[in-house]
């Protein structure tokens, strides 16, 4: 299985992405959490376009990406796990956990460092949330994220299989927890103890600052609970909560060129201290 996954990396990535996009997109049509008020075609064009441009930027300037770094570290004996000759049975789960913690930490920094927020607000400017919001990131943010991932992979000496599995799972989970559909209440409460669910993550897309500065996890929900950034429900309730950013309430976020220019517009939000996270019972 390992040889198959590593030998057919591109095909596996594309198959999982296409399968998740098709399955979750169908779920949204059949049982939407909220009816769309904007053109689905315009939103998908912009969101998928941003993702494609980010992928192109990485391919052009970081062609080896995280997988290439992992393969080089393995061959050269570089990195923590390679230096101590840690078995795959141990280095695989530890790498997955470490990379997931990296994504949580990175996400928090992108919210609280003004320069990074300029990039990340492109993601939050989406006036609605659906499966494509999970890949709506400014190309420069995608580039920075990959550079940080490559550095972490090198420091750990993470095995190539762990890096591939993590990137596939991260991409799939990002689309899942942005899906414009809801799980049954019992399933939602059960799954939220372990993974980030659509209800948990859509709080993070609330227009309220204290709410979108919470629930930073993409895969495991444990990091938000551990670092006290977990928020159980939005103040206005799930049905009444507003999605997006108040300062971009028009149709501009639906446009690809505008979204690419957004980080360079001179209207960054004011800085302030860390948000106070309220704890409430689950819906």
* Tens of pLDDT, residues 36-58: 999 999 999 999 999 999 999 99
Looking at the predicted structure, is the pLDDT value of residue 280 above 60?
A: no
pLDDT in tens, 131-157: 999 999 999 999 999 999 999 999 999
Does 226 fall in a domain?
A: no
Q: How far is CA 104 from the centre of its chain?
A: 9
The model's pTM is 0.91
Of all residues in the chain, the percent with pLDDT exceeding 70 is 94
Query: Residue 98 domain-assigned?
Result: yes
Which one, of 111, 133, 57, 55, lies nearest residue 224 by Cα?
111
Does residue 115 form part of some domain? yes
8 assigned to some structural domain? yes
Confidence band of 279 (pLDDT split at 50, 70, 90): very low
For residue 77, being part of any structural domain is answered with: yes
Q: Is residue 205 included in any domain, yes or no?
A: no
- Of 261, 259, 252, 256, which is closest to residue 38 (Cα–Cα)? 252
Domain contains 73: yes
- 97: containing domain: 2-178+247-264
* Structural domains counted in the chain: 1
Only one residue has tokens 């994220």, namely 145
Phi, psi of 220 (to 5 degrees): -90, 140
Residue 241 has which token pair? 């909560």
Token reading at 34: 């909220």
91's tokens: 């280095």
Cα–Cα distance for residue pair 10/21, rounded to 1 Å: 16
Using the structure block, give the residue that is written with the tokens 């551990």. Answer: 226
In a domain, 186, yes or no: no
- Among positive and negative, which fits the CA dihedral 118, 122, 127, 132? negative
């Amino acid at each position: 299985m390992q040889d198959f996954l590593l030998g057919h990396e591109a095909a596996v990535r594309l198959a999982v992405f296409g399968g998740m996009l098709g399955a979750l997109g169908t779920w949204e049509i059949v049982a939407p959490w909220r009816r769309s008020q904007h053109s689905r075609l315009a939103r998908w064009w912009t969101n998928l376009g941003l993702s494609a441009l980010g992928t192109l930027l990485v391919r052009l300037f970081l062609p080896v990406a995280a997988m290439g770094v992992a393969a080089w570290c393995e061959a050269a004996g570089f990195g923590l796990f390679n230096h101590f000759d840690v078995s795959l049975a141990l280095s695989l789960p530890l790498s997955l956990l470490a990379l997931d913690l990296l994504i949580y930490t990175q996400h928090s920094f992108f919210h609280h460092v003004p320069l990074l927020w300029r990039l990340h607000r492109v993601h939050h400017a989406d006036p609605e949330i659906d499966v494509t919001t999970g890949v709506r990131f400014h190309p420069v943010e995608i580039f920075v994220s990959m550079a940080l991932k490559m550095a972490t992979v090198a420091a750990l000496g993470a095995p190539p299989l762990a890096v591939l599995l993590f990137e596939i799972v991260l991409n799939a989970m990002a689309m899942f927890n942005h899906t414009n559909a809801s799980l049954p209440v019992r399933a939602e409460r059960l799954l939220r103890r372990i993974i980030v669910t659509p209800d948990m993550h859509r709080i993070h897309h609330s227009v309220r600052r204290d709410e979108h500065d919470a629930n930073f996890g993409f895969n495991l929900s444990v990091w938000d609970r551990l670092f006290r950034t977990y928020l159980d429900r939005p103040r206005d309730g799930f049905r009444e909560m507003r999605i997006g950013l108040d300062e971009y309430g028009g149709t501009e976020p639906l446009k690809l060129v505008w979204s690419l220019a957004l980080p360079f517009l001179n209207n960054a939000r004011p800085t302030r201290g860390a948000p106070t996270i309220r704890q409430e019972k689950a819906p």
